[in-house]
Amino acid sequence: MLAAVLLLALPFCTAKLASSYAGSTLVDSYPPPGATNAPAVNAYYFPDGSQVGYAGPTPTGAEPAAIVTAIPFSKVENAYPLSRPNSADGANPNFNVMRQWGNLAPMYSVESFGLPDASPIIPEGCGLNAVHLLMRHGARYPTSDSGSSHFASKIHAAASKEGFNVTGDLKFLATWKYKLGAEILTPFGRDSLFSNGVAFRYRYGNLLNAFTDLPVFRTTSEDRMLDSALNFAAGFFGIRTYETDYHQEIIIEENNFNNTLAPYDVCPNVNTEDVGNFGGIQSKKWADIYLKHARKRLQPMIQGFNLTTSRLVDMQELCAYEVIASFTRSSWISDIRQTVALGYSKFCGLFTEKEWEGYEYYVDLNFWYSSGPGNPTAAAQGLGYVQELVSRLTHTPINVWNSSTNGTLNSNNITFPLNQPIYVDATHDTVISSIVTTLNFTSLAATGPLPTDHIPPHRSHQSYIASQIASFSSQLVAQVLSCPASEEPTHIRFLLNDGVVPLTGICGCTEDPNGLCALPSFISAMHERIGQIDYAHDCFVNYTMPDPDNIIDGRYPS
């Protein structure tokens, strides 16, 4: 049956997009002739954000002024216009504090996941048929109940009492103010998604010529999610035409609403303390170790306030958020010497390189044991998206509803089309972590489970690093390729933040220097993987957390 489905799909996969030889007189045209964009259709199937609602909290922060401390013409990787902070032990040009921020790091290109000769560029002899993009939202302010905001309220309360005093490197806390917003995108977050849209157009724009109707891109209803999707679309389509060049589908993100881009809302065990928050439990064990010397060094500089391990972690997070937020925090007009603008943070320089490496590993532990291979709910959370991916790859409607897939939206070929050459879905960091677990990218789990009492030796060879998987604006791209010279003409491969992911852990995918896997083999393996995941058990059964050494694929041990 599967072979028959694939044969039906091949004409679409191998069709030429447009003639590209020299002297061609074919004219590319987009939007395609006859594409529907009727207001009545849009209002019914694609309501805008004000109609969908459920935007979540939307407090804003102060306006940007990074130019006070940032050098706007000095690009730091893709983090322009942010300033690159230094650690407490000097300005080592080979050490990048921003790389140590885990899921709070700006997205950077990963050189290799174990395929040193592979490139994001399409392999020679292959042509591009389709692309599937799963992206994380851009840089945001802290969440409403974040440690950063709690730290601010606690330090404020302490400062109002007698006996509070700060000296040395912590003297700035005497006048420090917390001016971060909550939940919504920062200006840098908007910029990065717009830039990603432009870059994606440069990379994959030619696929637009294969559309027969307007594309449907998906996101969730949260404010930062919708803004990320719209900024990406504005960069991809162009600011003047993007609103009419595609359909933006907004899926409600709220408890008890099925949504493959926010699957934790229908998986109760994700929200339990001992299972869903197991990463927090494991990472705290490590925080008590790696921050021991920082506490001894910094506590004498502050009286009337206890620098617990969790508060030191909050201070490290504040470094990331203040840099990413990028706005003026003090009256620089009255005294330029006292200026401290976000885009820069004094919290960054409080910690040594070793302590920043400890923080990065702290985040790795949190992700591995909460939404990655070390948590029994991870594969179940990613199941719905993988079912959608297989449906799209085979052009076959979903007919089994046993996960977070949305029966209303996914059973309609208008809101869930199966013939698009380009798919774009916006989601969250933990969801990307869960989905790569469901996809069974065993190369990312090769060095796990992760110990909680030390960073594994040869850190550069550690396979699971959160900043490489789920940073702000992170991108997981599936390329569907036609390679006529191969025994099997149609292949798939995955890029995670520009790094080609080996697929040799997936049944039927052989070793390939370019990360290619024959599409029929990949689809067959995904059907098998889907059948292995017990969604009902892993999400709903009341169980205690099993031995973490026995979990490396995101499922409850059989």
pLDDT at 108 > cutoff 80: yes
Residues 89 and 118 placed together within one structural domain of the fold? no
Q: What is the pLDDT of residue 154?
A: 95
- How many structural domains does the chain have? 2
> b/e per residue, 94-106, with b = 16+ CB within 10 A?
eebbbbbbbbbbb
Q: What's at 400, amino acid-wise?
A: V
Q: Would strands 302-303 and 127-136 be described as parallel, antiparallel, or unpaired?
A: unpaired
22 in any annotated domain: no
Q: E strand or H helix at 332, and its extent?
A: none
Instruction: Determine the average pLDDT of the residues in 417-421.
Output: 97
Place of tokens 């393996």: 525
Residues 228 and 286 placed together within one structural domain of the fold? no
The last residue of a domain, from among 323, 345, 366: 366
Q: What is the pLDDT of residue 6?
A: 31
Return the SS3 of 465. coil
170 in any annotated domain: yes
Q: What is the pLDDT of residue 382?
A: 98
Q: What is the pLDDT of residue 335?
A: 33
pTM of the model: 0.87
Find out whether the peptide bond into 417 is cis, omega within 30 degrees of 0.
no
Residues 432 and 284 placed together within one structural domain of the fold? no
Distance CA 511, CA 135 (A): 27
9 in any annotated domain: no
pLDDT at 146 > cutoff 80: yes
Q: What whole-number percentage of the chain has pLDDT above 70?
A: 86
Residues 259 and 323 placed together within one structural domain of the fold? no
Look at 199 and 7; give whichever has higher pLDDT.
199
Look at 20 and 534; give whichever has higher pLDDT.
534
Distance CA 506, CA 1 (A): 21
Q: What is the pLDDT of residue 442?
A: 94
Selection from 490, 363, 346, 502 nearest residue 439 by Cα = 502
Q: Compute the C-alpha angle 155/161/166, nearest 5°.
A: 55
80 in any annotated domain: yes
**Lookup: tokens for 3:** 């072979």
The last residue of a domain, from among 337, 366, 395: 366
Residues 166 and 77 placed together within one structural domain of the fold? yes
Look at 223 and 462; give whichever has higher pLDDT.
223
Q: What is the pLDDT of residue 330?
A: 36
Helices (H), 238-299: 242-245, 278-290, 292-298
Residues 419 and 308 placed together within one structural domain of the fold? no
Average pLDDT over the chain, rounded to an integer: 87
Residues 130 and 147 placed together within one structural domain of the fold? no
Residues 93 and 160 placed together within one structural domain of the fold? yes
Residues 203 and 79 placed together within one structural domain of the fold? no
pLDDT tens readout for residues 245-295: 999 999 999 999 999 999 999 999 999 999 999 999 999 999 999 999 999
Instruction: Determine the average pLDDT of the residues in 182-211.
Output: 93
Residues 503 and 544 placed together within one structural domain of the fold? yes
Instruction: Determine the average pLDDT of the residues in 506-514.
Output: 95
The CATH number given to whatever domain includes residue 281 is 3.40.50.1240
Residues 206 and 300 placed together within one structural domain of the fold? no
Task: Supply the DSSP string of 67-102, one letter for each residue.
Answer: GGTS-TT---TT-TTS----BTTB--TT--GGGGSG
Residues 147 and 229 placed together within one structural domain of the fold? no
Instruction: Determine the average pLDDT of the residues in 505-522.
Output: 95
Task: Supply the DSSP string of 471-515, one letter for each residue.
Answer: -BT-EEEEEEEE-TTSSSSEEEEEEETTEEPP-TTSTT----TT-
- Res. 79 pLDDT band, cuts 50 70 90: low
pLDDT tens readout for residues 313-366: 999 999 999 998 854 333 333 333 333 335 678 999 999 999 999 999 999 999
The torsion angle over the Cα atoms of residues 152, 155, 157 and 158, rounded to 10 degrees, is 180
pLDDT at 7 > cutoff 80: no
Q: How far is CA 439 from the centre of its chain?
A: 16
Q: What is the pLDDT of residue 29?
A: 65
The last residue of a domain, from among 339, 366, 393: 366
33 in any annotated domain: no
15 in any annotated domain: no
pLDDT at 517 > cutoff 80: yes
Phi–psi pair at 35, nearest 5 degrees: -65, 140
pLDDT at 11 > cutoff 50: no
pLDDT tens readout for residues 425-456: 999 999 999 999 999 999 999 988 999 999 98
Is 103:370 a contact under the CB 8 Å cutoff?
Answer: no
54 in any annotated domain: no
Which residue segment(s) compose the domain that 438 sits in? 111-140+187-266+375-448+463-550
Phi–psi pair at 45, nearest 5 degrees: -90, -25
